[in-house]
Amino acid sequence: MAYVNGRFLPLADAKTSVEDRAYQFADGVYEVVKFYGRNAVRLEPHLVRLMESSAHLRIAGGPGLDEWKTIIEQLATENELVDDETNEYILYQQVSRGVAPRNHLFPKDAIEPSVVAYFRKAPVYSREQRETGIALSLQPDERWNRCYIKSVCLLPAVMAKQAAADAGCFEALLVRNGIVTEGSATNTYCVREGIVYTHPTGPHILTGVTRTLVFEAAEKAGVEIREEAVTPDQFAAADEAFISSTTMGIMPATRLDGKPVGKSGKPGPVTRQLAQALDAIVASELRGHEVTAK
């Protein structure tokens, strides 16, 4: 079941107009939230970011925080989500400016935004990926200069990730003006002499909710983390590397363009330490049910 503009419908019947501005102009924003059973990981920060992204694009009239929580609660019930943390789901939410005759300009008359949400089973990452790490491929960062907005305009990221996949890699490592920014759908990190480096917050990265969790995990584990830009050569010469996202948490990255990262080309101790600390934070919050869809 999906939620579309106030209605709960079977996913196959969840449709919007061909004149929806998300369809014609990528004029919309989205979020993806991880659920364990009916319990979400950091739901409120995701919702706040969704509303902030809408505000950046001057999209007005979408659900507020409490309304979103009510929608999600009912959507979880409609989908009969199994209340067991071994069942993992993702919630996709999208808000567009709405439906109007095609025109680059915003509609002159006020229109209602199009609001969509649905659950899917979460992607499954193999034990081998977690134990041996994934491969990265350097790709040019051709996205716009407002990456802090979680816009549905994802084509540059799609092309970069596909180029990485064509090269036999799991994720693209994006490079802009000689500096590593982030992945096509992840934040990226490298470790040198026990210190974690990641691109500073700013217009060229999305400040991921899981990125914030990584910072909390680093504090919990006593690991220093610095927001400092690195070059592709510095990233390649690092002792360790990893990526993070809502769906996967922390994932070790052990190869870059066919060459090992670090001397061993295996997940390193800092990466493992942070992954364990992050998992502990998530497990603690799930036990406390700080934010749920019940």
Q: Which amino acid type is present at position 79?
A: N
Cα 125 to Cα 287: distance, rounded to the nearest angstrom: 23
> What contacts 24+ positions apart, CB below 8 Å, involve 281-284?
281/213, 281/216, 281/217, 281/220, 282/41, 282/213, 282/249
> 157: which DSSP letter?
H
Q: How many CA atoms lie within 13 A of 279 on its CB side?
A: 9
Cα→Cα distances 22→85, 183, 191, 274, Å: 33, 23, 39, 37
Cα 182 to Cα 151: distance, rounded to the nearest angstrom: 16
Question: What are 187's two structure tokens?
Answer: 């934040």
Report yes or no: 107 and 74 within 8 Å, Cβ to Cβ.
Answer: no
> 107: which DSSP letter?
P
Question: What are 217's two structure tokens?
Answer: 């995990």
Of 150, 161, 220, 266, which is the active-site residue? 150
Our answer to whether residue 266 is catalytic in this structure is no
Main-chain dihedrals φ then ψ at residue 212, nearest 5 degrees? -60, -40
Question: What are 254's two structure tokens?
Answer: 């052990």
Cα 18 to Cα 23: distance, rounded to the nearest angstrom: 7
* Residues designated as active site: 150
